[in-house]
Each structure stands twice: as structure tokens, then as C-alpha cells.
């Protein structure tokens, strides 16, 4: 054992988990915040913004990209990363869904 039993859950549950997991590291939260702070998408200098080595940052970027939270396009010598909205919408929808349900049920509970 040790591996997540993804085949026992729905595709939607697995998708949401992948998105949430990708954000489950402070460096990756920091990357998202940085991409948001600078004007539009930015090429390079993410490494300089983080207290981690270049290979480590590259790995975190790859994970965010695999999860569908950012996208990167080659821009000459460097790569232009920016937030990928569809991925973001998906996970945002989950929280909105929860909030709507909770509002309906307010005060029925502990």
C-alpha cells in the first residue's frame, strides 16, 4: 500500500484532488500569487522570487502545469508562464458549490 486508490473515486473527485494537491505547497501558492501580482504573465525571474533552487522551482512549475493551473509558452530564450483560467474555474466552482449548500443549511447543525 501507500499509493492513493484513485480508481475508487469519481473522475470529478480525482480532478479536484489533483488541483488542490497542486496548491498544497507554499512554494506553489507563492508562484500563483506572484503570477497574479506582476502584470499579466511573466517570463523568467520566478526563480529569483523564491527561496528555492532553480531545479526545485522548475519542478514546482511543472506540477502546477500538469494540474492545469498554469500554462507556459516559449518566448524566445525564456518561457512565459501565466495562470490557466479553466483549471482555476474548476476548483473555484467546488468552493462556490460548498458555500451555496452551507448557506441553505445554516443553523441546522453543531
Residues 6 or more apart in contact with residue 54 via CB below 8 angstroms = 47
User: Is 19 in a helix, a strand, or coil?
Assistant: helix
Q: Among a copy of itself, DNA, none, what binds residue 14 when CB lies within 5 to 8 Å by partner kind?
A: a copy of itself
- Dist CA 60 CA 28 (whole Å): 6
Nearer to DNA, 6 or 99 (CB): 6
* 86 interface partner picked from DNA, a copy of itself, none, CB below 5 to 8 A per type: none
Task: Please report, for residues 10, 30, 33, 34, 58, the alpha-carbon distance to residue 3 in angstroms, rounded to integers and kept in the order given.
Answer: 17, 27, 30, 32, 24
Choose the one of a copy of itself, DNA, none that binds residue 29, judging by a C-beta under 5 to 8 angstroms depending on kind.
a copy of itself
CB of 20 to DNA, least distance (A): 10
Residue 53 phi/psi, 5° resolution? Answer: -70, 165
The reply on whether position 74 binds a copy of itself by CB under 8 A is no
- Report DSSP state, residue 108: S
Q: Which of positions 12-41 make contact with a copy of itself (CB under 8 A)?
A: 13-14, 16-18, 20-30, 32-33, 36, 39-41
Smallest gap from Cβ 32 to a copy of itself, in A, equals 7
40 binds, among DNA, a copy of itself, none (CB under 5 to 8 A by kind): a copy of itself
Amino acid at each position: 500500500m501507500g499509493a492513493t486508490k484513485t480508481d475508487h473515486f469519481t473522475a470529478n473527485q480525482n480532478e479536484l484532488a489533483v488541483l488542490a494537491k497542486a496548491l498544497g505547497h507554499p512554494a506553489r501558492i507563492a508562484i500563483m500569487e506572484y503570477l497574479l501580482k506582476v502584470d499579466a504573465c511573466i517570463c523568467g525571474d520566478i526563480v529569483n522570487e523564491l527561496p528555492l533552487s532553480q531545479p526545485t522551482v522548475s519542478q514546482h512549475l511543472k506540477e502546477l502545469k500538469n494540474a492545469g493551473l498554469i500554462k507556459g509558452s516559449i518566448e524566445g530564450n525564456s518561457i512565459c508562464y501565466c495562470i490557466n483560467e479553466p483549471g482555476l474555474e474548476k476548483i473555484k466552482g467546488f468552493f462556490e458549490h460548498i458555500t451555496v449548500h452551507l448557506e441553505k443549511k445554516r443553523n441546522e447543525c453543531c
